[in-house]
Structure 1
Amino acid sequence: MRHSVIDSLEETLPMRHRYIVAGSVLVDMLGYGLIMPLLPFMVQAWSGDATIVGLLGSLYAAMQLLVAPLVGTISDRIGRRPVILGCLFGSSVAYLGLALANSLPMLALAIAISGAAGSSMPVAQAYIADVTGPDDRARGLGLLGAAFGLGLIGGAAMGGFLSQYSLALPPLLAAGIAFLNALYATIALPESLPPARRRSHPIRFHNWLAPALTALQLPTVRPLLIAVTLLNLAFSGLQSNVALFTLTRFGWGPAQNALLFVFVGLCAAFTQGVLVGRLQPRFSEAGLAGGGLGLMALSFAFVGLIQQSGWMLFPPAALLAIGMGLAVPAITSLVSLRAGSGRQGAVLGGMQALISLALLLGPAGFGISFDYFGPTAPYLGSSVLLTGAWLISLIALARPTPSPPRMFRSSEDSEALS
């Protein structure tokens, strides 16, 4: 019965509808890629504090953390289409707010709306799952992954180059793109979840830390979960802070920062698209995880030590992108393998909760250390964190793989991971 429903949907939903859904993800990441490089320059009109910039970056992450589970649950109740449309229209309002903000509270409100509206990825993934069978699902989800990367790189490029004319121009263009995409989706995007398949479970805030805390109790994956949390803590802080770092140290503007962000994105795409597949058979996931974390630790140390020439940022930026491109998929694979039969989804959900916590704390932590200890401090400190992650992973992966526990210690543990 399930496959007959999917087959019927696939007959009525040509590929262009999947492209509309992918467009919603692209718009989300377009906004994120646009906001982060420009945020220090937008804030400068009212405050020069790196702490303020970091807190605004954390605000964006906090809104996504709170809203993403809710929109997924709401889409199970009322369908995917209205939620996707709401996120697209919300993004256009948020980008317009960024362009028109005339005070710090208005800017914060626009960023909060942008974070909330940019939480459509779970709904987009659910839409693709609704309309594809097992054989075609990987290709459909791959389309979302491509939109994710393209939006991130495109947003950074758009924000950097158009801001040479006006800081308001990039968010205005992003607002127009989001609004046109929303109008087209209103006309052309059908619903993927028929009323008969919708759920009526209550909408409530989830204890998102429970899966993380329970996953950390599993000795088979605990060291790797700590390593991936430290990795994302460092990287999320870098994303929100690097534009302020280059402005302070080299006098860079949005255009130079855009070039750096695009360069990092291209290096990451090359790593994940080419290098991982060629290196994995030779070095295994354990080798890629250790090597990737080591490269990231070196890259942060090099950034902190650069004093004069801005072009010297590009080699460590390449090391960072390559290191992260090697480490993240390798660690994810190892966590899944060590979780034990029947627990992969739950443990990976716990890992995602830890990553969300890192995305929340990283920008604020980078901003505070930048203000109180100077531009070099966040990067040298992150290098220390990543060196710790590297050592933890080396020690954990050098030991024989322990047998995962056959069951959780209590029914509450099992419920927390489910």
Structure 2
Amino acid sequence: MYKKGYFTLGNIYNIGKNKYIFIFSGEQYNIFFHTMKKTEKYKIKFSILFEWYFLFFSLYSAIIHSYYFSQMSSKKFSLPIILLTILLDIIGFGLIIPSLPFIIRGFGLGEHWVGITFATFSIGMFLGGIVFGRLSDMYGRKHILMMTSFLNMIGYIFFAFAGNIWFFMFARFLSGLGGAGMAIGQAYISDISTPGDRTKNLGMTGAMFGIGFTIGPVLGGLFGNGSHLILGLAAAVIIFLNFLIIAFFLPDIKNKHLEVSEESVSPMDFHHHKKQIYILFTLTFLLSIGFSAMQTTFPLLLADRFSFHEKEIGYLFGFIGIIAIIYQGFLIKYVRKILDERGMILFGFSALILSFSLFAVNPFFLGIFVIALFPLGQGSINPAIGSLHAHYAGKEVGKALGTNASMLSLGNIVGPFLAGYFYLIWNGAPYIVASIFFLIAFLFVFFGLRNVEKR
């Protein structure tokens, strides 16, 4: 036998009659020919060598160029890139929503497990928001975004190959930890935005949510067919692409937020404006309870009341996403000229109270117009809350938005459990309960944030 050390990389050797061996990257590849002329031999040798070296130098060049591109701390590139990473996160998450009730039923479990699944994801996001938000203030957004993206990808791989409900739940928990990256993405946007542009730029994250919830659920409804293998692998590929974009193209912004003091390590301890920040946390908590109640039961209600399947559910989520894109991508800047952050939050909760209470009792074809108010309400509230956090928290904005994401997740734990219980009583009950939580939040804003200054 011939040893690899006796050969030269890239050469072809005759080791027997009509039998040749080609040495490629330290390995032996046998090539059989009935006849081989000398010119053909060198032609093959040159062709394979050219492809090998071309691949090597192309890969090397791509890495070097993407590295230097990622060092360009230019707002021209950083904003669209971070918005793209948020979009890919939402597409991956949205893929599984239409099929989730059918996947749970495939495990032979009842509808209340849909709520437990959402709650498990939210527990992971709750813990991830607290931990990774603080770490992003200390060590920079980019490195922590890479970490959360990697966790998210592993979670979707486990999701794809889950053979029982407990492994399935563990996969959702991991993806929840990685889902905290969306809050860090908002902190990144706050870092690169001026006070005047902050609400508008954070509103663009809402547009990314709209696009993601247009593309993700539609694709999931069309191709999922209740298969967590297909959906999990598709989501993992999307998140892996997201990881590569963050690693090679997202500028590593250096800013004042990395100078945060080491004294305050508690996620609920802030140096300034504690009362206002706590009110914002309360609003996020109440909003998430109501909205997660809708997310948990919406596919079930459509399936039970209107006999919808994954495809139709995906289309309806796509409709909601299109409304969100139009409002948060184009119209919100005009609303912002009329209303300050407090006014936007009041308007948002008013829209949600109206839409949820009417949808609970209206037939579907009347309710479809009410559904359009869902993204208008949420799209007004979230960017305003994010902007106020940036204003009040200052250099602790990463911790504030991370804790805010944890409050969102905490509400997403409570909401699905409540929704599952009330859904068994009446399928419209979760929307009435959600409207009550929105009303409480409205009163918090009306009385607690009365003196928010216009900027």
**Shared fold by TM > 0.5?**
yes
Alignment of 1:304-319 (within 5 A): 304-306=360-362, 310-319=364-373
- Contact 2:149-2:178 within 8 A present in 1 as well: yes
> Which of these residues, 414, 417, 423, is aligned with residue 370 of structure 1?
423
> Which of these residues, 269, 275, 281, is aligned with residue 325 of structure 2?
269
Partner residue in 2 for 1:97: 158
- Contact 1:24-1:88 within 8 A present in 2 as well: no
Tell me, in whole angstroms, the C-alpha distance in 2 between the residues paired with 1:16 and 1:255: 36
> Which of these residues, 15, 26, 49, is aligned with residue 87 of structure 2?
26
Instruction: Write the deviation string for residues 125-160 of structure 1: whole angstroms up to 9, x where unpaired.
Output: 666788x69699969878766545433432222212
Q: Secondary structure at the match of 1:44?
A: helix
Is residue 2:421 matched to residue 1:386?
A: no
Partner residue in 2 for 1:409: none
Opposite residue 251 of structure 1, the aligned amino acid is: S
**Residues 1:113 and 1:282: Cα distance change in structure 2 (over 3 Å):** closer
**Residues 1:77 and 1:262: Cα distance change in structure 2 (over 3 Å):** same
Tell me, in whole angstroms, the C-alpha distance in 1 between the residues paired with 2:426 and 2:109: 13
Q: Secondary structure at the match of 2:106?
A: coil
> Which of these residues, 296, 299, 322, is aligned with residue 243 of structure 1?
299
Q: CA deviation at 1:66?
A: 0.8
**Residues 1:233 and 1:101: Cα distance change in structure 2 (over 3 Å):** same
**Residues 1:154 and 1:284: Cα distance change in structure 2 (over 3 Å):** same
**Residues 1:256 and 1:208: Cα distance change in structure 2 (over 3 Å):** farther
Alignment of 1:249-260 (within 5 A): 249-260=305-316
Give the TM-score normalised by structure 2: 0.66
Alignment of 1:62-141 (within 5 A): 62-74=123-135, 83-124=144-185
Tell me, in whole angstroms, the C-alpha distance in 1 between the residues paired with 2:395 and 2:172: 39
- Contact 1:208-1:353 within 8 A present in 2 as well: no
> In terms of mean alpha carbon deviation, does 141-150 or 378-387 score higher?
141-150
Percentage of identical aligned residues: 26
Q: CA deviation at 1:318?
A: 0.7
**Residues 1:101 and 1:201: Cα distance change in structure 2 (over 3 Å):** farther
Instruction: Write the deviation string for residues 254-311 of structure 1: whole angstroms up to 9, x where unpaired.
Output: 11111222222222232234443334555665554444322211211222113xx544
**Residues 1:135 and 1:58: Cα distance change in structure 2 (over 3 Å):** closer
Instruction: Write the deviation string for residues 194-250 of structure 1: whole angstroms up to 9, x where unpaired.
Output: 9xx989999x9x654566xx94xx4x7877765554333211221222111211221
- Contact 1:68-1:119 within 8 A present in 2 as well: yes
Equivalent residues, number = 381
- Contact 1:129-1:137 within 8 A present in 2 as well: no
- Contact 1:158-1:170 within 8 A present in 2 as well: no
> Which of these residues, 204, 210, 217, is aligned with residue 156 of structure 1?
217
Opposite residue 113 of structure 1, the aligned amino acid is: L
Partner residue in 1 for 2:380: 326
Larger radius of gyration: 2
Opposite residue 242 of structure 1, the aligned amino acid is: F
Q: Secondary structure at the match of 2:163?
A: coil
**Residues 1:122 and 1:288: Cα distance change in structure 2 (over 3 Å):** closer
- Contact 2:137-2:258 within 8 A present in 1 as well: yes
**Residues 1:108 and 1:201: Cα distance change in structure 2 (over 3 Å):** farther
Opposite residue 301 of structure 2, the aligned amino acid is: F
Partner residue in 2 for 1:298: 354
Opposite residue 58 of structure 1, the aligned amino acid is: A
- Contact 2:290-2:415 within 8 A present in 1 as well: yes
Partner residue in 1 for 2:39: none
Tell me, in whole angstroms, the C-alpha distance in 1 between the residues paired with 2:280 and 2:365: 34
Partner residue in 1 for 2:14: none
**Residues 1:142 and 1:229: Cα distance change in structure 2 (over 3 Å):** closer
Q: Secondary structure at the match of 2:180?
A: coil
Tell me, in whole angstroms, the C-alpha distance in 1 between the residues paired with 2:97 and 2:236: 16
Q: CA deviation at 1:75?
A: 5.3
Partner residue in 2 for 1:231: 287
Tell me, in whole angstroms, the C-alpha distance in 1 between the residues paired with 2:442 and 2:189: 36
